[in-house]
Amino acid sequence: MRSFYQRLFPWRQLFQWLNHSPTPTNDFGNREFAFTLQNDAYLRYQSFATADLLRKDVLRLMPSRFEIGPVYSTNPRDRKTLRNSSAFKPLSKELCFDIDLTDYDDIRTCCDKATICNKCWQFMTMAIKVVDVALREDFGFKHIMWVYSGRRGAHAWVCDKKARSMDDQKRRAIANYLEVIKGGSQSGKKVNVKRPLHPHLSRSLDILKTHFQEDVLDVQDPWATAEQAEKLLQLLPDRNLNDSLRRKWEAAPGRSSTSKWADIDAVAKTGASKHLDSRALLEAKQDIVLEYTYPRLDIEVSKKLNHLLKSPFVVHPGTGRVCVPIDTKALEDFDPLGVPTVQSLLAEIDAWKGGEDGEEGDDKSKVNVADWEKTSLKPYVDQFRTFVSGIIKDEGIAKVKREREDDSMDF
Amino acid sequence: MMRQDHNRIDPKRRNVVDYRKKQFATPQFKDTQYPHRLNFYADAPTADITLEQFEQWAIDRLRVLAELEACSFRNRSPAETTSHMKPILDKYLPLDSNSSSNTKLFSQRQKDHYSHFILRLAFSSTEDLRRRFSRVETMLFRMRFNSDDLSERSAFVSSLDLDWWEPVTDDEKIRYAAELAAMTSGKKMNNEDGTWFKVDWERVPDLVESRRVFLKAGKAYVPGREQSSMVVAEFTSRLERQLELTARALPRLDEDDRLTPILNHLSKNFITPDSAYMSGSTAPAGAQISAANIDNLSQHFPACMSNLHRSLRRDAHLKHYGRLQYTLFLKGIGLNLEESLMFWRSSFHKVTDDTFNKEYRYNVRHSYGDVGGDSNRRGGGYSPFSCQKILTEHPPGPGEAHGCPYRHFNLENLTALVQAMGVSDRSVLQGVKEDKDNQKFHMACNRVFEHLHKAEIKKAKDEGIMTSNQLETIVHPNEYFKRSYLLKNLGKETDVKMEG
Within a domain: A236: yes
Q: What gap in Å lies between CA A306 and CA A294, rounded to an integer?
A: 27
Residues 6 or more apart from B337 whose CB is under 8 A from it?
Answer: B364, B365, B368, B370
Give the best residue of A138, A141, A142, A294 to mutate against chain B (max B CB count within 10 A): A138
CA distance A347 to chain B (A): 32
pLDDT at B279 over 50: no
Across A127-141, B168-182, B376-390, which has the greatest mean pLDDT? Answer: A127-141
Please list, residue by residue across A265-290, b when 16 or more beta carbons sit within 10 angstroms of its beta carbon and e when fewer do.
eebbeeebbeebeeeebeebbbbbbb
Report yes or no on B281 lying in a domain: no
Give the residue among B421, B410, B466 at the shortest CA–CA distance from B445.
Answer: B421
Most confident of A129-133, B54-58, B61-65, B200-204: A129-133
In a domain, B102, yes or no: yes
pLDDT digit string (tens) for A210-246? 999 999 999 999 998 888 888 888 888 888 888 888 9
Q: Within this chain, do residues A284 and A303 fall inside the same structural domain, yes or no?
A: no
| pLDDT confidence bin for B404, thresholds 50/70/90 | very high
Residue A272 has pLDDT above 80, yes or no: no
B445 is in an annotated binding site: yes
User: pLDDT over 90 for what percent of chain A?
Assistant: 48
Residue A282 scores a pLDDT above 80:
yes
ipTM comes to 0.82
Q: According to the model, what pLDDT value does residue A18 have?
A: 93
List the catalytic residue out of A98, A215, A238, A371: A98
Which CATH number covers residue A301?
A: 3.90.920.10
Q: How far apart are CA B155 and CA B159, in angstroms?
A: 6
B309, with CB counted inside 10 A (0-12, 13-18, 19+), is buried
pLDDT band at B274, cuts 50/70/90? very low
Q: Within this chain, do residues B317 and B453 fall inside the same structural domain, yes or no?
A: yes
Model confidence at A55, pLDDT cuts 50, 70, 90, reads very high
Domain-embedded: residue B154: yes
A68 pLDDT higher than 90 = yes
Structural domain contains residue A194: no
Which among A246, A271, A292 is the end of a domain?
A: A292
Q: Are both A40 and A77 inside the same structural domain?
A: yes
B15 located within any domain: no
Whether residue B385 is found in the same domain as residue B355: yes
Query: pLDDT, tens digit, for every residue of B408-421?
Result: 888 888 999 999 99
Residue A211 lies in a domain: yes
Domain boundary at B229, B254, B281, which? B229
Q: Are B477 and B387 within 8 A, CB to CB?
A: yes
Least confident range from A374-378, B172-176, B197-201: namely: B172-176
Judged against a pLDDT cut of 90, whether residue B8 lies above it is answered with: no
Q: How confident is the model at residue B7, as a pLDDT?
A: 59
- Any CB–CB contact under 8 A between A201 and chain B? yes
**How high is the pLDDT of residue A5?**
92
* Contact: A40, B217; criterion CB under 8 Å: no
B122 vs A201, more confident: A201
Are A257 and A226 spatial neighbours (Cβ–Cβ below 8 Å)? no
Q: Tell whether the model's pLDDT for residue A336 goes beyond 80.
A: yes
- Contacting A residues, span 91-110, partner chain B, CB-CB under 8 Å: 103, 105-106
User: Is residue B240 in some structural domain?
Assistant: yes
In a shared domain, residues B173 and B256: no
pLDDT at residue B498, rounded to an integer: 38
**Shortest Cα distance, chain A CAs vs residue B177, angstroms:** 11
How far is the C-alpha of A273 from the C-alpha of B268, rounded, in Å?
64
Q: Are strands A153-158 and A144-148 parallel, antiparallel or unpaired?
A: antiparallel
B318 with B177, same domain? Answer: no
Residue B267 and residue B217 in one domain: no
- Looking at residue B38, its pLDDT comes to 84
Residues of chain B with C-beta less than 8 angstroms from the C-beta of A98: none
Residue A109 has pLDDT above 70, yes or no: yes
pLDDT (0 to 100) of residue B9: 57
| In a shared domain, residues B140 and B243 | yes
B387 annotated ligand-binding residue: yes
Q: CA A408, CA B110: separation in Å to the nearest integer?
A: 46
Based on the domain organization, do A256 and A329 belong to the same domain?
no
Domain boundary among B177, B202, B229: B229
Interface test with chain A among B196, B200, B215, B436, by most A beta carbons within 10 Å: B215
Question: How many C-beta neighbours within 10 Å does residue B489 have?
Answer: 18
Please check whether residues A215 and A141 belong to one and the same domain.
Answer: no
Q: Do A304 and A271 share a domain, yes or no?
A: no
In the annotation, is A112 catalytic? no
The chain B residues in contact with chain A (CB within 8 A) are 178-179, 181-183, 185-186, 201-202, 205-206, 208-211, 214-219, 307, 311, 358, 395-403, 405, 408-410, 412-414, 417
A273 and A306 fall within a common domain: no
Show the domain range for A204: 199-292
What are the contacts of B180-187 at 24+ separation with CB within 8 A? B180/B214, B180/B221, B180/B223, B181/A196, B182/A196, B182/A197, B182/A198, B182/A199, B182/A202, B182/B214, B183/A198, B183/A199, B183/B212, B183/B213, B183/B214, B183/B221, B183/B223, B184/B223, B185/A194, B185/A195, B185/A196, B186/A196
Asked if the structure places residue B262 within a domain, the reply is: yes
Question: Can you give the pLDDT at residue A360?
Answer: 46
What CA–CA distances, in Å, run from B8 to A278, B1, B13, B252? 78, 16, 11, 21
Residue A363, domain member (yes or no): no
Residues A250 and A391 in one domain: no
Residue A5 sits in the same domain as residue A136: yes
B154 and B166 assigned to the same domain? no
pLDDT given for residue A136 in this prediction:
94
Distance from CA of A186 to the nearest CA of B (A): 5
Domain count, chain B: 3
A325 vs A9: CA distance, rounded Å: 13
Cβ contacts (< 8 Å) between A141 and chain B: which residues? 218
Q: What is the pLDDT of residues B205-263, one digit of tens each?
A: 888 888 888 899 888 888 877 777 788 888 888 898 889 888 888 777 766 677 777 77
Domain contains B358: yes
**Cβ count within 10 A of residue A304:** 16
In a domain, A3, yes or no: yes
Could you say which DSSP state residue B260 is in? H
Q: Give residue B264's identity as a one-letter amino acid code.
A: N
Region of A322 on the Ramachandran plot (φ > 0 left; ψ -120 to 50 alpha; else beta) = beta
**Structural domain of B241:** 51-158+235-271
Assess whether A15 and A151 both reside in one domain. Answer: yes
A184 at B interface, C-beta within 8 A:
yes
B78 in a structural domain: yes
Which among A159, A222, A164 has a CA at the least distance from the CA of A384? Answer: A159
Among A69-78, B173-182, B387-396, whose mean pLDDT is lowest?
B173-182
What pairs with residue A71 in β-bridges?
Answer: A31, A92
Looking at residue A188, its pLDDT comes to 72
Exposure string over B444-461, b if 16+ CB within 10 A, otherwise e: bbbbbbebbbeebbeebe
Q: What pLDDT sits at residue B271? A: 52
Instruction: Say if the Cβ atoms of B205 and A189 lie within 8 Å.
Output: no
- A354 pLDDT band, cuts 50/70/90, is low
Regarding whether B146 and B184 lie in a shared domain, the answer is no
* Domains in chain A, number: 2
Please give the span between the terminal C-alpha atoms of chain B, in angstroms, as a whole number. Answer: 97
Tell me which residue of B137, B112, B148 sits closest to B32, measured CA to CA: B112
Which one is predicted more confidently, A65 or B378?
A65
Q: Tell me if B304 is assigned to a ligand binding site.
A: yes
Asked if the structure places residue A409 within a domain, the reply is no
Q: Beta partners for B220?
A: B199, B215
Amino acid at B76: R
Give the residue on B whose Cα is nearest the Cα of A182: B397
Chain B: give the shortest CA distance to residue A352, in Å: 40
Residue A131, pLDDT above cutoff 80: yes
Could you tell me if B417 and B335 lie in one domain? yes
- In the residue annotation, A32 being an active-site residue is answered as yes
The predicted structure's pLDDT at residue A23: 84
Asked whether residue B375 falls in the same domain as residue B422, the answer is yes
User: To probe the interface with A, which of B208, B222, B226 has the most A CB atoms within 10 Å?
Assistant: B208
A162 to chain B: which residues are within 8 Å by CB?
Answer: 202, 218
Q: Is A98 a catalytic residue?
A: yes
Is A105 in the same domain as A16? yes
* Integer Cα distance of B190 and B482 in angstroms: 53
Q: How far is A286 from chain B (nearest CA, A)?
A: 16
Query: Is the domain of B137 the same as that of B261?
Result: yes
Q: What is the pLDDT of residue B149?
A: 79
Residues A239 and A347 reside in one and the same domain: no
Does B176 score more than 90 pLDDT? no
Asked if B407 contacts B391 with a C-beta cutoff of 8 angstroms, the reply is yes
pTM beyond 0.90: no
Mean pLDDT on A268-294: 86
What is the mean predicted confidence (pLDDT) over B276-292? 64
Cβ contact B358–A201 (<8 Å): no
Q: Do A278 and A301 fall into the same domain?
A: no
Specify the pLDDT at position A207. 93
Same domain, B336 and B449: yes
Interface contact A177, partner B, CB < 8 A: yes
